[in-house]
Structure 1
Amino acid sequence: MDREGERERRETERYRKREIQRYKARGREKERERERERERERERDRQRQRDRDRETERQRDRETERERETKKERQRERETERERERERERERERERERERERERERERERERERERERERERERE
């Protein structure tokens, strides 16, 4: 009976130790799972940050492109305005030339008139 009691006690002790080991193992596994979940959350945070950084970079790129296009557009407008001004200047120059030509024509007409006048004078004499 004493040996039977001793055997039961040892068996109970072994069972208790195995249960404690299983309990500790479950605790360690739960802790590992919590750590894996924390790592997944950190990775999601890093991914969200990378996504934000990429979006910020895309916005910066779009803004830079808009500025570049705006600058080009202003440059084209300035060039167009300079071309218009050159055209207006050429037109003014053509107008001045036409005016000079008209003046020369008037002068020739006056000269012809004077010539006719001299002719009439000679005829009268």
Structure 2
Amino acid sequence: MDDDKPVTEQAMATITTAVEATKDAAVSAVKKVRKAAKKVAKKVTKKVAPKKASKKKAKKATKKAAMKSSKKAAKKTAKKAPKKAAKKSSKKVAKKKKKAKR
């Protein structure tokens, strides 16, 4: 890592990037999940007779499905993000050192 900055500052930077990456990944995962849940709900509700009832059911179903899968996705990304951020930061530091040697 950088020799100029103290270790605590470097750690904070790494943690901050990890948190940002996790947040972005969770948001995009939730969006994807909602889209997919709506598609599934539409297929399911086509079989139900009256339109108003089916629309309500579709909304409820999509919300429930989206919440469940967004929680799962958020957990996954939360687990993976710190590792990815650490790898990226170490690669960046290595590149900087190579450039500095030249």
Which TM-score tier does this pair reach, normalised by the shorter chain? 0.3 to 0.5
Greater percentage in helix: 1
- Using CA pairs under 8 Å that are at least 6 residues apart, name the structure with larger relative contact order, 1 or 2: 2
